[in-house]
Amino acid sequence: MAKRGGFPGGGMPGNMANLMKQAQKMQRQMEEQAKEMETKEFTATAGGGAVEVTVSGKREVLKVKLQEEVVDPDDIEMLEDLIVAATNEALRKVEEESGAAMSKLTGGLGGSMPGMF
């Protein structure tokens, strides 16, 4: 009686080849997604719109806009805090969209695939 399972006589090599094809396809999709993310811009505001920061999908600050009334030489710390808050919010938006796109590609596998991210 033939033994089921295992490599000899089993269907594993075919399944392994199919799995490798799927992994390569997923890797290509992830690379395309990463390139697409790099071209996007994410904007966030702080202080009721007094500070606006735009970052790229590469997580680089592209633009900082300040309303005139927020530039107070006697309160530099508030302006610094608003810039930090707007920048962090814009970066959070990048992470959120990047994570959602990756989850869509991996079907929610995420961290359970070592070396993939």
Q: Could you read off the pLDDT of 66-108 as tens digits, one per residue?
A: 999 999 999 999 999 999 999 999 999 999 998 888 788 777 5
Lowest-pLDDT range, 41-50, 57-66, 70-79, 104-113? 104-113
Confidence of residue 116 (pLDDT cuts 50, 70, 90): very low
* Proportion of the chain above pLDDT 70, given as a percent: 80
Residue 12 confidence (pLDDT)? 56
Answer whether 56's CB lies under 8 Å from 41's CB.
yes
Q: Which residue has the higher pLDDT, 94 or 17?
A: 94
Cβ burial, residue 94 (10 Å; 0-12/13-18/19+): buried
